[in-house]
Amino acid sequence: MRKLSIIGMPMDLGQMRRGVDMGPSAIRYAGINERLKPLFDEIHDMGDIPIGRPEVVIDKESNLRNLALVAEKSTLLAEKVDEVIQSGSFPLVLGGDHSIAIGTLAGVSKHYSNLGVIWYDAHGDLNTAETSPSGNIHGMPLAASLGIGHHSLTDIGGYAPKIKPENVVIIGARALDEGEKILIKEKGIKVYTMHEIDRLGMAKVMEETIAYLKDRTDGVHLSLDLDGLDPIDAPGVGTPVMGGISYRESHLAMEMLEEARIITSAEFVEVNPILDEKNKTARAAVELMGSLFGEKLL
């Protein structure tokens, strides 16, 4: 019995641009339930984690934006994801900005000894309070999940780290801050920048990623930021970076992950309908989910 549970996380607390809190609604409007229904025996849309309309608060000690609130809401998400996995269902989380991954991974990784992570993103999201140029937590979730950063973020769920650096693969990177580059080299994190994608081709990148993760992990989480795609194909994101992964390359990546049967949880984040063109980015997200979960052309 193949079950899917959809959790909306309409959080925009990790950055400054309004509208990304409407991401889960935009994805639902783009027809996620209808698209995925033929691929599962049972789909349960659990609605949205309540976020409310809190005011922006800068933490005096760390200078991080909305630190306490992000920690509080991430804990709620972690509990919900944990509950879904315990029920034998596949957790699919809809963002919201990428800071939501702190909560998702806190809920997922307690069920695995060696959780792998594919971070499909233009950015590394490996900043800390010390290295972040902005103080925006959506640039920190991968670092926090590795146990690096403010304890309020690293200790969600009561344990740290959630993942090991050797079990992470970043795909699509093309905007890395200096502190992130140092951390990548220091920790030996595997990264396929756009240079490698252009040079090797997406098929080779995915073959290598799957081979790399398959033997060393007992589950793999896909964290897909829509800004990993080129802004031509996904304009509705808060931090677009030119020269990204194409729509077709992304479909191939999802199809290859589905064939490999390694993905055990997923999240799609940073859809901002306010910045979008006729819900194009949310539609792209839903179409990529179709490929990830087994939709076939023939």
Active site residue 138: yes
Active site residue 221: no
- Residue 126 tokens, joined: 């490996």
Q: What is the pLDDT of residue 61?
A: 84
Indicate whether 166 pLDDT > 80.
Answer: yes
Q: Is residue 41 exposed (0-12), middle (13-18) or buried (19+ Cβ within 10 Å)?
A: exposed
Active site residue 251: no
Q: Which residue of the set 12, 48, 97, 227 is catalytic?
A: 227
pLDDT in tens, 207-254: 999 999 999 999 999 999 999 999 999 999 999 999 999 999 999 999
Active site residue 125: yes
Indicate whether 39 pLDDT > 90.
Answer: yes
Indicate whether 168 pLDDT > 80.
Answer: yes
Q: Which residue of the set 258, 270, 276, 295 is catalytic?
A: 270
Active site residue 270: yes
Active site residue 123: yes
- Mapped onto helix, strand or coil, the DSSP state of residue 295 is coil
- List the domains of the chain with CATH numbers: 3-292 (3.40.800.10)
Task: Please count the other Cβ atoms lying within 10 Å of the Cβ belonging to residue 86.
Answer: 10
What is the average pLDDT across 173-195? 97
Q: Which residue of the set 225, 249, 267, 276 is catalytic?
A: 225
